[in-house]
């Protein structure tokens, strides 16, 4: 598949509807950032609809009719929209870090209650500039959401905290239901894909700690189409499973701008299906979400609940 033209399967309908507008307004009122919007994620229509506490909406009603309803998911990005690192695949601005907003944990908890989400993904930029790299802020946000409604499931997608296990431990102690850290790519391509401060072994050690020291499910994500070979993807999946990772997602890398890493290949949807079978049937992951438009938080609530019920 040529890398110069986007194939048909990557074209998606833009999100719309009453519920979509309500969520957007709720976020604006509280000055909150979501990855969904920042990345203009094409899955917003699917992820944001549904949810047992969600106000009714034509989109959600038709999703329910078609059996597509489930826990609505949105991904909040904590601690600003500027990162202390600069990964070559990522569109987030580097440097010029904002001070932490001490009200952010409660504002996120308020927005989750207002929107009626059942499943929340929290992620952040990397904050290597802070004494605890933002681990305490992450933990406080998990706790604020659970204090409001203990039934809301929280997935925390954390940075590597430079491999400091005490900082990973701080987030573990807050009791998220799923604790994720993204390995992003195979070992050989960690750099140039990720910032030089990241690394394969460091990420595996974060995931091993999550798997062995917490009650949370351990989750990670891999982008395809950055130049990896199939045997390397298989090896990465096997390494992840060997450290105890339960959930893995695979999606197509898309170049955010010409100054970012080029797409090496558009992977066919059938190949994504094959990886899903390998991960679930051969390597025994709890579940694997795999598809061209899958992102680490793609329909995270729905798929997690479905997997637990299987
Ligand atoms: Fe983007 Fe995360 Fe890399 Fe920062 S650490 S540049 S937010 S991928
Ligand atoms: Fe948001 Fe993640 Fe869904 Fe995209 S895939 S809309 S970022 S929850």
- Per-domain residue ranges of the chain: 10-309
Any atom of ligand 1 within 6 Å of the Cβ of 35: no
Specify the ligand 1 atom closest to the Cα of 84: 4
List ligand 2's pocket residues with C-beta within 6 A.
35-36, 41, 43-44, 47, 73-75, 121, 295, 297-298
CA of 129 to the centre of ligand 1 (A): 14
Any atom of ligand 1 within 6 Å of the Cβ of 90: yes
CA of 82 to the centre of ligand 1 (A): 9
Instruction: Please tell me the number of the ligand nearest to residue 123's CA.
Output: 1
Token look-up 């992977």 returns: 267
DSSP per-residue codes, 129-192: TSTTTTHHHHHHHHHHHHHH-TTSEEEEE---GGG-HHHHHHHHHT--SEEE---BS-GGGHHH
Q: What is the pLDDT of residue 39?
A: 78
Which residue lies with its CA nearest to atom 1 of ligand 1?
A: 90
Q: Are 217 and 245 in contact (CB under 8 A)?
A: no
Instruction: Please tell me the number of the ligand nearest to residue 184's CA.
Output: 1
Nearest-angstrom CA–CA distance, 288 and 275: 8
Q: What is the pLDDT of residue 227?
A: 98
Q: What is the pLDDT of residue 15?
A: 65
CA of 295 to the centre of ligand 2 (A): 7
Q: Are 49 and 6 in contact (CB under 8 A)?
A: no
Nearest-angstrom CA–CA distance, 300 and 177: 12
Nearest-angstrom CA–CA distance, 31 and 26: 9
CA of 22 to the centre of ligand 1 (A): 28
Residue 224 DSSP SS3: strand
What's the gap between Cα 178 and its chain centre? 11
- CB-side neighbour CA atoms (13 Å) of 10: 15
Instruction: Please tell me the number of the ligand nearest to residue 295's CA.
Output: 2
pLDDT tens for each residue of the chain, 310 residues long: 545 577 877 766 666 677 778 888 888 899 898 888 887 787 887 888 754 444 444 444 444 444 334 457 889 999 998 999 999 999 899 999 989 999 999 999 999 998 888 899 999 999 999 999 999 999 999 999 999 999 999 999 999 999 999 999 999 999 999 999 999 999 999 999 999 999 999 999 999 999 999 999 999 999 999 999 999 999 999 999 999 999 999 999 999 999 999 999 999 999 999 999 999 999 999 999 999 999 999 889 889 999 999 8
Residues 6+ apart with CB under 8 A from 2: 266
Specify the CATH class of 10-309 in words: alpha beta
CA of 267 to the centre of ligand 1 (A): 23
CA of 74 to the centre of ligand 2 (A): 6
Q: Mutate which of 75, 180, 300 to test ligand 2's pocket (most atoms within 8 Å of Cβ)?
A: 75
Any atom of ligand 1 within 6 Å of the Cβ of 195: yes
Specify the ligand 2 atom closest to the Cα of 39: 7
DSSP per-residue codes, 36-79: HHHTT-TTHHHHHS--TTPPP-HHHHHHHHTT-----EEEEEES
Q: Are 214 and 256 in contact (CB under 8 A)?
A: no
Q: Which of 125, 133, 300 is nearest to 219 (CA)?
A: 300
Nearest-angstrom CA–CA distance, 227 and 279: 20
Q: Are 276 and 45 in contact (CB under 8 A)?
A: no
Specify the ligand 1 atom closest to the Cα of 125: 7
Q: Mutate which of 15, 36, 154 to test ligand 2's pocket (most atoms within 8 Å of Cβ)?
A: 36
Q: Are 78 and 140 in contact (CB under 8 A)?
A: no
């Amino acid at each position: 598949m040529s890398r110069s033209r986007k194939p048909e399967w990557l074209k998606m309908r833009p999100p719309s509807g009453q519920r979509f507008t309500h969520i957007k307004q709720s976020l604006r009122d509280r000055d909150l950032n979501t990855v969904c919007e920042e990345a203009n994620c094409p899955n917003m229509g699917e992820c944001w609809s549904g949810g047992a506490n969600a106000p009714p909406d034509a989109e959600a009603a038709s999703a329910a009719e078609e059996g597509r309803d489930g826990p609505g998911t949105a991904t909040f990005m904590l601690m600003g929209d500027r990162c202390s690192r600069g990964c070559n695949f990522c569109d987030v601005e580097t440097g010029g870090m904002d001070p932490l907003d001490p009200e952010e944990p409660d504002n996120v908890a308020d927005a989750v209650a207002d929107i009626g989400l059942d499943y929340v993904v929290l992620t952040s930029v990397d904050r290597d500039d802070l004494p605890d790299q933002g681990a305490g802020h992450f933990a406080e946000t998990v706790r604020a959401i659970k204090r409001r409604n203990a039934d809301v499931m929280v997935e925390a997608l954390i940075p590597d905290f430079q491999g400091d296990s005490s900082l990973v431990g701080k987030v573990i102690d807050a009791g998220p239901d799923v604790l994720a850290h993204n390995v992003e790519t195979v070992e050989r391509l960690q750099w140039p894909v990720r910032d030089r401060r990241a690394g394969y072994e460091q990420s595996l050690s974060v995931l091993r700690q999550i798997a062995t020291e917490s009650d949370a499910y351990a989750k990670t994500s891999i982008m395809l189409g950055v130049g990896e070979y199939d045997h390397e993807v298989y090896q990465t999946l096997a390494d992840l499973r060997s450290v105890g990772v339960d959930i893995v997602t695979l999606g197509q890398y898309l170049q955010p701008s010409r100054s970012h890493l080029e797409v090496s290949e558009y992977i066919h949807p059938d190949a994504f299906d094959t990886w899903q079978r390998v991960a679930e049937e051969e390597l025994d992951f709890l579940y694997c979400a795999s598809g061209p438009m899958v992102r680490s938080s793609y329909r995270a609530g729905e798929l997690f609940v479905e997997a637990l019920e299987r």
